[in-house]
């Protein structure tokens, strides 16, 4: 079967969880998470969990463990903590959990970002992978980055990703 055949067999809707990782944002001030929730919902997906966490590895790991063991969760999207500062620990916390890394996600995200902002795209460590049959996506925290990933990569491929990850 080819790409189109596989994509055709994907579910039409998936269950998502959104985690915002930031030391400065709250549920009231977080725009990126709201954009993710609204964009996923508008595309017909369900967002059953939305959480704002600090840049704390134990909190992030515990939340991911809960979501990975939830029968409801198919996709986990984390936003924030993916930069190059010493406070940015999302990638270091998530990577050890991944059974499969989907390198093309980060590569495509950086390519699309380069088209918008130029060489600053090298600072992005956006990534995606699979753990326990679930898709995990890590995005930068900026509103523009989330919008780009959501519109150009996540919405077009999320159902296909879930089908492949759950097989």
> How many percent of the chain have pLDDT more than 90?
93
Flag whether pLDDT at 1 surpasses 80.
no
What is the reported pLDDT for 65? Answer: 98
**Triad 155, 43, 109: Cα angle to 5°:** 20
Flag whether pLDDT at 119 surpasses 90.
yes
What is the reported pLDDT for 9? Answer: 86
Interhelix angle for 32-42 vs 155-165, to 10°?
80
Mean pLDDT of the region 112-116: 97
Looking up tokens 């996923």 gives: 40
What is the reported pLDDT for 35? Answer: 98
Nearest to 155 by CA among 45, 60, 76: 45
Specify the pTM: 0.96
């Amino acid at each position: 079967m080819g790409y189109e055949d596989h994509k055709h067999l994907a579910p039409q809707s998936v269950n998502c969880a959104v985690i915002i990782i930031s030391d400065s944002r709250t549920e009231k001030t977080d725009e990126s998470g709201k954009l993710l929730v609204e964009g996923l919902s508008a595309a017909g997906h369900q967002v059953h969990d939305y959480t704002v966490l600090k840049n704390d590895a134990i909190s992030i790991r515990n939340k991911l463990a809960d979501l990975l063991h939830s029968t409801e969760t198919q996709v986990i999207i984390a936003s924030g903590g993916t930069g190059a500062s010493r406070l940015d620990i999302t990638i270091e916390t998530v990577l050890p959990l991944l059974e499969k890394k989907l390198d093309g996600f980060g590569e495509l995200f950086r390519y699309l970002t380069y088209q918008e902002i130029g060489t600053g795209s090298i600072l992005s460590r956006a990534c995606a992978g699979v753990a326990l049959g679930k898709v995990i996506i890590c995005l930068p925290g900026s509103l523009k980055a989330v919008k780009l990933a959501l519109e150009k990569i996540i919405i077009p491929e999320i159902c296909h990703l879930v089908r492949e990850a759950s097989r």
